[in-house]
Structure 1
Amino acid sequence: MDDTGGGNVDTGIHGDELRLWGVLGGDEGRDGVVAGGIELLGDGVGYGEDVGVVVGGGVDVAAGVGGCGGCRSNGVCWVSFLCLLAGCSICWFNTVCFVLCVKNFPSNRALAISLTVSFNGVSAALYALTANAVNSSSSSVYLLLNAVIPLLTSLLTLIPILQQPKLDPLPPDNAVQRDSTVFLLLNVVAALTGFYLLFLTSATKSVTSSRLLLVGALLLLIFPLFVPGIVYAKEQFILVDDDDLEFHKEATRKGGSSASTSTKVDAGKGQLVTLGEEHSAAVLVRRVDFWLYYAAYFCGGTIGLVYSNNLGQIAQSLGQSSNTATLLTLYSSFSFFGRLLSAIPDYARAKFNFARTGWLALALTPTPVTFFILTGSDSTLALKTGTALIGLSSGFIFAAAVSITSDLFGPSSVGVNHNILITNIPIGSLVYGLLAAVVYDVNSDTTRKISMVTDTLICMGRQCYYWTFVSWGCLSVVGFVTSVLLFLRTRHAYERFERHRLSSQFD
């Protein structure tokens, strides 16, 4: 579901060729669109993303609404309404996947979430390959696939969602061990699928080769359905330290009465004492930890997303339009592997334990460094390296954030709480995109370059994005600082959880 649901990367990667706003709205030549920061082409479905917060509805309802929303939004000519519906659809798809992961894999939820979010990162390449296999000369095929496939996928996934047996809140140890093995194998398959879709298929142009590669891609996507059966038949080794199961059992017991239970915090400092305590939305927005977390995401992962939406125009302003496809592939590829790498804390915890909020701070480090490098160099090497680093950083943050939300504010409320958190994405897309647009327009008036394609003013030179990079770099430093503060405030709760895990193991 997450793979076919798509996301910001879906429209962002191929937006330069499709010109979504221009194709459907006829406004491709408008100066505001060329400015790029707040154009719906760049933000694509991301402009309306996360507006549709699912509160109180079941995952079956959300899945069905998500599929219908995606279908409807790609068939309407009202472009703003189209993007709003598409954004709601993506939010509903993601919410379904997150809730299913948390409920079905309480001890391995981080592994499950990183896996589903990783597949979400290759959806653009999958749609592009499918469109080339059907009709490579028509961009409307790409839009049609974005409308039809999510609807069909959501209808198919409704069957197992509605028919799944009652969940065991306290899964046996052998079930957790099997799940650990399954997730390791699935991560290997995901890595192979990512290499296949992001590198091998990008080199093909002919319809025949696209069809052959599409068959291979479909086999790779179908293969994970058989992995659980293979592992359940083997019943072999353990690859993740699963002694934290007792903690999750305890958290699950408390989950049912979370509405009447107060969150355990340090009365003197307002810091969390225990991980996994449930937070209602009203309690959530009163927590200092939440706003530190919000600021870290807003000034970290969201900036990386806006950077990717403006990549085509950044490359054009630096005279590197010929490298646009390469840059977009770099961002998409490293974002995909960054999402996969978000599972490292869970695989490495047996030998090296570090708070998940600390990993978040480390993941934010490359972003400010990259922007300050780009302010000092406009070379092809600097742009490619910076794009790869930002993709890796933002991909890790996107995947790890759901698990952090579950750790800090409770697994049962993650569907609502995480959607509250990621309201920063549309806000950040608007604010950062507007900043980039203003800087770009001011400098385009200075350079007075005319596009041969759109007959509009364009900006050429380092100055087009210089102050944008400076601003984004300073803001990402703020994000890094707030993530460090969040780590310092929550590390004691993670250490207490680790001591509990070790004592349970000893017993």
Structure 2
Amino acid sequence: MTSSAPLKDQPSLLENEWVGLAAGIYAEACSGLSYCFAVYSEHLKETLNWSQTQIDGLGSSKDFGGGYGVPAGLLYNFYPPWVSVLIGASFNLAGYLGIWLTSLKLIAPPYWLVCAFMVIGSNGEPWVSTPVMVTNMQTFPTERGHVVGLLKAYLGLSAAMFARIYTSFFDGYASRFILLQAIGPFVVLTAVMAFVKPYPNKHDTEPHEIEKRIRWSYCIILILAGYLFITIVLSEVFVLGVATQRALTTIMIAILFLPLAMPFFGRPRYKHVSSDLDALNPDDEESSTLLQEEPVHTDKPVHLEMPELTLYESVQTANFWLFAAIIGAGTGSGLTIVNNFGQIARSFGTSRVSSFISLFSIWNCLGRLLAGYSSECIVRAGLPRPIAAVMFTSLMGLAILLLATGASYSLYVGSVLVGLAQGAHWALMPVLTSELFGLRNYGATFNTVTVASPISAYFLSTWLTGTLYDREAAAQHASQIDPPPGSEHTCHGAVCFQLALVLLSCVCAGGVICGLALVMRTRGLYRLRTKTSESEEY
């Protein structure tokens, strides 16, 4: 070990960890487009003359592709991170191009092949998110909650940004939007993939500089989310022309360039640390921590207490299955709402699906930020982080019950609350995975436990919600004296989804019970870690 040396200038741009975070932001901003499914699901349903059960099956294929990241996790350590990003970009391009060709009837594939296209396209998400999450949690070990919340917030906001583009340039042309969904992310991801990599801790930024840049990063996304919310309000209150809509979208794109300033924001000073330290090696984290003059946060020693379980060891623990149950109940119910947004809006008598998707996406983003911040406060208070998961699963259940009332305002408020709860779950899951099972095998463990989300969404969306909707649609069709052609798959009124929504809220209640069990099992661990942190500080 070397003694402390004079403060040095900041490293070159290519070795600046904030470049890696900015690259991760742009990668995640293109990785949440599965939430845009409701924008074009009604178009596919009408063009292909599908039933609601078939549409829900396609939506479940999207969820399975987006949630099945086991190969991405298992293979992550065998090649550089940029390879994983490139694979994800290629999957996105290939899959959504197939959906686009199908929507134009340029090809006529069987139903199973359309579902396969959707699986391939949405499966690009875990291939991108895995390297982004792992590299940034390694680069910023003491800011995991904040950094994960920030990155996941951009993923949550991506649907709102692309819905804004749809409203401005493609409104009424859903097929063109699908083409954008195929090409746009591929271009962005290939541009930033070289910067998605671990940044060795050769230059240890002073604590207040880290906090200052984190605050700057949060300010940017709050500005972006606030701006998008204002554009939704303006679009709902006033009739905006095409030129105005496109001008608003241009401003949004300009705001998106602000993260590029992160590597240059302020003039941080760096304390030189021995070059033989590698923060990316979990075995060296203890020596790295001891060399620092003072801990940045009270949760600094958290990493010393973390178990480092293999995937096989993780699945043998009760914590793994309780965690999977929370994921299945909370995010599975949320994805079911997202998959049926188009039809829920139509049953309420409105066709402004893009507005509700934007509302959902904005609050999805804010939920991720809120979960990252609030869960850090919970941990610093000596309480288990799973308490936050219990809170947001409860919120999901209440939001779904609100939608079940069929009140005129429920679609707006429900979109907000479901988005908030859904985003919070996805921000908590990476951090909880690293804390409960360790970071060494994070990719494999995280992508395995989160398979609970698409599996749950499949049963809740296709078998439950889609079946009940089609049953009610058939009943309404049979009761009409002279029903219009094609109406056998269309249902009107709050009754279309009412029973399904009540049952979904019951599923969330089951998730809350599992969450409370996980809280009880981990309360001693978090209390011990907090005491360890305090002893390290003093």
Q: SS where residue 5 of structure 1 aligns?
A: coil
Q: Which residue of 2 aligns with 1:412?
A: 440
Corresponding position: 1:180 with 2:211: yes
Residues 86 and 189 in structure 2, CA contact (< 8 A), matched pair in contact too: yes
Q: SS where residue 196 of structure 2 aligns?
A: helix
Q: Which residue of 2 aligns with 1:308?
A: 338
Q: Which residue of 2 aligns with 1:243?
A: none
Letter of the aligned partner of 1:10 in structure 2? C
Corresponding position: 1:364 with 2:393: yes
Corresponding position: 1:51 with 2:64: no
Q: Which residue of 2 aligns with 1:344?
A: 373
Q: Which residue of 2 aligns with 1:471?
A: 503
Q: Which residue of 2 aligns with 1:294?
A: 324
How many Å apart are 1:353 and its aligned residue? 4.6
Q: Separation in 1 of the partners of 2:379 and 2:322? A: 28
Q: CA RMSD in A?
A: 3.1
Q: Which residue of 2 aligns with 1:70?
A: 92
Q: Separation in 2 of the partners of 1:7 and 1:351? A: 34
Q: Separation in 2 of the partners of 1:424 and 1:128? A: 27
Q: Which residue of 2 aligns with 1:95?
A: 130
How many Å apart are 1:432 and its aligned residue? 0.3
How many Å apart are 1:35 and its aligned residue? 4.0
Letter of the aligned partner of 1:194 in structure 2? A
CA change 1:384–1:8 in 2 (3 A) is same
Q: Separation in 1 of the partners of 2:315 and 2:526? A: 21
Q: Which residue of 2 aligns with 1:4?
A: 30
CA change 1:199–1:306 in 2 (3 A) is farther
Residues 66 and 89 in structure 1, CA contact (< 8 A), matched pair in contact too: yes
Q: Separation in 2 of the partners of 1:358 and 1:171? A: 35
Letter of the aligned partner of 1:456 in structure 2? E
How many Å apart are 1:503 and its aligned residue? 0.7
Q: Which residue of 2 aligns with 1:15?
A: 40
Q: SS where residue 365 of structure 1 aligns?
A: helix
> TM-score, normalised on structure 1?
0.82
Corresponding position: 1:402 with 2:422: no
How many Å apart are 1:46 and its aligned residue? 2.6
Deviations, residues 369-401 of structure 1 (Å, cap 9, x unaligned): 3344454x3211344333322221111111111
What are the within-5 Å matches in structure 2 for residues 152-171 of structure 1?
Answer: 152-161=187-196, 167-168=200-201
What are the within-5 Å matches in structure 2 for residues 151-300 of structure 1?
Answer: 151-161=186-196, 167-168=200-201, 172=204, 174-200=205-231, 203=234, 206-231=241-266, 233=267, 252-253=283-284, 275-300=305-330
Deviations, residues 279-305 of structure 1 (Å, cap 9, x unaligned): 111111101001000001101122112
Q: SS where residue 495 of structure 1 aligns?
A: helix
How many Å apart are 1:97 and its aligned residue? 1.7
Q: Separation in 2 of the partners of 1:138 and 1:367? A: 32
Letter of the aligned partner of 1:467 in structure 2? L
Q: Which residue of 1 aligns with 2:472?
A: 443
Letter of the aligned partner of 1:336 in structure 2? C
Q: Separation in 1 of the partners of 2:178 and 2:506? A: 37
CA change 1:289–1:443 in 2 (3 A) is same
> TM-score, normalised on structure 2?
0.78
Q: Which residue of 2 aligns with 1:379?
A: 407
How many Å apart are 1:135 and its aligned residue? 5.2
CA change 1:80–1:382 in 2 (3 A) is closer
Matching residue within 317, 324, 328 for 2:357? 328
- Percent identity between the aligned chains? 20
Q: SS where residue 309 of structure 2 aligns?
A: coil
Equivalent pairs counted in the alignment come to 464
Q: Separation in 2 of the partners of 1:144 and 1:406? A: 36
Residues 255 and 412 in structure 1, CA contact (< 8 A), matched pair in contact too: no
Deviations, residues 207-254 of structure 1 (Å, cap 9, x unaligned): 4334422332222111112133213x0569xxxxxxxxxxx9995537
Q: Separation in 2 of the partners of 1:8 and 1:71? A: 13
CA change 1:349–1:181 in 2 (3 A) is farther
CA change 1:127–1:385 in 2 (3 A) is closer
Higher RCO (Cα < 8 Å, 6 or more apart): 2
Range with greater deviation from structure 2 (278-287 or 351-360): 351-360
Q: Which residue of 1 aligns with 2:528?
A: 496
Residues 227 and 252 in structure 2, CA contact (< 8 A), matched pair in contact too: yes
5+ residue gaps, structure 1: 237-247, 257-271
Q: Which residue of 1 aligns with 2:450?
A: 422
How many Å apart are 1:274 and its aligned residue? 7.8
Letter of the aligned partner of 2:50 in structure 1? R
Letter of the aligned partner of 1:180 in structure 2? E
What are the within-5 Å matches in structure 2 for residues 94-133 of structure 1?
Answer: 94-131=129-166
Residues 363 and 397 in structure 1, CA contact (< 8 A), matched pair in contact too: yes
